[in-house]
C-alpha cells in the first residue's frame, strides 16, 4: 500500500512549506540514532516523506499521482544501489535549520553517516530576539537606544569559570580533559561515530574543585542588563539589526547573537518610498492658477521655501533634491511634494460671481 507522506510527517495536505519543514525537523530530531532516537526505519520514512513534500515539483506530482510518480520511492526496501536513501538529494539539508535549543544542523547529522567521522561543533549560546519601536524621524536619520534585557549571561563572580574564586579547576575525568566524548554506533548503513560535548564539564574539559556559590558551577546566570543599540540611518520598518555575541552566554563557548526587529511609527506628514520622502500639500485654487511660494517644514524641523509653479493639472509632483532619506553616508534621496488643488467647500456671492465671469472666458 502506498504511504501517505502527509500522515508520516503529521501534517495536513494544505500545509505550507514552513509547516512541513518544522514537522520534519521535529521528527528527525526525535528519531535519528545520533540524536537519541532508536527507530531507524522511522527516520528513513520521515526523510523520504520530506524529500518529496519539500520539493515543489515532486509534491505536485505526488499530489496528482501518488507514489507512482517518477520521483517517488516506495520506502519498502533499499533502492537499486542497496542504499535505502538512494535517490535522495541531501544537498538541501546542508544549510541547517538554525541553532540552539531543539534546533540542529543536518550537516551534523549526515556528515558522519557516510564517512565514519565525527566532529564536535564549538558550543554556542542561544540567539535571542527583541522588538523595538522607534519614531519615523529616528529611522530616517539614525539614533541609539538603550534597552534592558533579561538573558543568560556570564556569572559576574566566577567570570564564567564555574569555580569559586581562588579555587583551582581540575581535569574532567569523564572526558580526560578533551571536553567531548566520542560515541560509535551501529545503524542500517553500517557503523558510524559521533562526538558530543561532555555533560559533566559542559565541554570545558575542566571541573571546579569547589563550585561557584552564585552560579552553582554553571558559569552563567540569568540576569537583566542594559544593551546599547545603534540604529543606522535609513532603516526601514521590519528590518533586523544583528548584534554579535549579545545573545545568551554559554560556559566555555561563544555567546549567541541578539537580533533586533525594528518597527517604525508612521509619521503624520511624511512617508517613505525607497530613498525618497513623500508629503501631501493642498494648494488653493488661486495659487494653483497663478503660482505661489509656500513655506514647508522639513523632517529635520527646518523651514523650506518652495516655489509652486502654475499648475496644469489638479495633481502634480514637485521634487526637492537632497531632502530625502540618507543613502550611503552623505548622499540623500529627494523630497517629493504631492500638490493637490483644494477646492472650496462653499463660495460667497462675490466669489461665485467672479467664477461665473471666468466661465465666460472659457476657464
Give the DSSP per-residue string, 181-198.
Answer: EEEEEEETTEEEEEEEE-
- 9-23, 52-66, 95-109, 265-279 — which is least confidently predicted? 95-109
Residues in the chain: 363
pLDDT score for 68: 47
Q: Please determine, for residue 38, whether its predicted confidence score (pLDDT) is greater than 80.
A: no
> pLDDT higher for 70 or 51?
51
> What percent of the chain shows pLDDT beyond 70?
80
pLDDT score for 1: 47
| 77, burial (CB in 10 Å: exposed 0-12, middle 13-18, buried 19+) | exposed
Strand stretches in 122-189, DSSP E: 128-134, 143-154, 169-171, 180-187
Cell of 344: 472650496
Q: List CB contacts of 27: < 8 A, sequence separation 6 or more.
A: 9, 10, 42, 46
Task: State pTM to two decimals.
Answer: 0.56
Q: Give me the CATH code for the 270-360 domain, please.
A: 2.60.260.20
* Chain centroid offset of residue 167 CA: 42
Break the chain into its structural domains and give their ranges.
5-110, 128-264, 270-360
Mean pLDDT over residues 196-200, rounded? Answer: 82
Residue written as grid cell 540618507? 326
Cell of 346: 462653499
Residue written as grid cell 569559586? 164
Contact 79, 73 (CB under 8 A): yes
Q: Tell me the pairing of strands 276-284 and 270-273.
A: antiparallel
Q: Give me the CATH code for the 128-264 domain, please.
A: 2.10.230.10
Q: For 42-54, what is each residue's pLDDT tens digit?
A: 888 888 888 888 8
DSSP 61-129: HHHHHGGGSTT----SS--TTS-TTTT--GGGGTT----STT---HHHHHTTTTT----PPPPBPPPEE
Q: For 115-149, what is each residue's pLDDT tens digit?
A: 444 444 567 889 999 999 999 999 999 999 999 99
Q: How far is Cα 244 from Cα 247, in angstroms, rounded to an integer?
A: 8
Q: Backbone phi, then psi, for 287, in 5-degree steps?
A: -65, -35
pLDDT score for 39: 65
- 99-113, 209-223, 304-318 — which is least confidently predicted? 99-113
Q: Please determine, for residue 186, whether its predicted confidence score (pLDDT) is greater than 80.
A: no
Assigned fold of 5-110: Helix Hairpins (1.10.287)
Mean pLDDT over residues 223-238, rounded? Answer: 92
Amino acid at each position: 500500500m502506498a504511504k501517505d507522506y502527509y500522515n508520516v510527517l503529521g501534517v495536513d495536505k494544505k500545509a505550507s512549506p514552513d509547516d512541513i519543514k518544522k514537522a520534519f525537523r521535529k521528527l528527525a530530531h526525535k528519531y535519528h540514532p545520533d540524536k537519541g532516537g532508536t527507530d531507524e526505519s522511522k527516520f528513513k520514512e520521515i526523510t523520504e516523506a520530506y524529500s518529496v513534500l519539500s520539493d515543489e515539483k515532486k509534491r505536485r506530482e505526488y499530489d496528482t499521482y501518488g507514489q507512482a510518480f517518477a520521483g517517488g520511492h516506495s520506502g519498502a526496501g533499499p533502492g537499486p544501489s542497496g542504499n535505502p536513501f538512494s535517490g535522495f538529494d541531501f544537498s538541501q539539508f546542508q544549510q541547517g535549520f538554525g541553532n540552539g535549543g531543539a534546533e540542529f544542523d543536518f550537516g551534523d547529522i549526515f556528515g558522519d553517516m557516510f564517512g565514519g567521522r565525527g566532529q564536535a561543533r564549538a558550543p554556542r549560546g542561544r540567539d535571542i530576539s527583541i522588538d523595538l519601536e522607534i519614531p519615523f524621524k529616528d529611522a530616517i536619520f539614525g539614533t541609539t537606544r538603550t534597552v534592558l534585557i533579561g538573558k543568560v549571561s556570564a556569572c559576574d563572580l566566577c567570570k564564567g569559570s564555574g569555580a569559586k574564586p581562588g579555587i583551582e579547576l581540575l581535569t574532567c575525568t569523564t572526558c580526560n580533559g578533551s571536553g567531548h566524548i566520542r560515541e560509535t554506533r551501529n545503524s542500517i548503513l553500517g557503523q558510524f561515530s559521533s562526538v558530543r560535548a561532555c555533560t559533566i564539564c559542559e565541554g570545558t574539559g575542566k571541573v571546579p574543585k569547589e563550585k561557584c556559590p552564585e552560579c552553582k558551577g554553571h558559569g552563567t546566570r540569568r540576569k537583566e542588563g542594559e544593551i546599547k543599540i545603534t540604529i543606522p540611518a535609513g532603516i526601514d520598518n521590519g528590518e533586523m539589526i544583528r548584534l554579535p555575541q549579545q545573545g545568551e552566554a554559554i560556559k566555555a563557548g561563544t555567546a549567541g547573537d541578539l537580533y533586533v526587529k525594528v518597527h517604525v511609527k508612521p509619521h503624520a506628514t511624511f512617508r517613505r518610498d525607497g530613498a525618497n520622502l513623500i508629503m501631501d500639500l493642498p494648494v488653493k485654487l488661486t495659487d494653483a492658477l497663478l503660482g505661489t511660494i509656500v513655506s514647508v517644514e522639513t523632517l529635520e524641523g527646518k523651514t523650506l521655501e518652495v516655489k509652486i509653479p502654475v499648475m496644469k493639472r489638479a495633481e502634480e509632483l514637485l521634487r526637492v533634491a537632497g531632502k530625502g532619506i540618507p543613502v550611503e553616508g552623505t548622499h540623500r534621496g529627494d523630497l517629493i511634494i504631492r500638490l493637490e488643488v483644494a477646492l472650496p467647500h462653499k463660495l460667497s456671492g462675490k466669489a461665485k460671481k467672479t467664477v461665473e465671469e471666468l466661465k465666460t472666458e472659457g476657464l
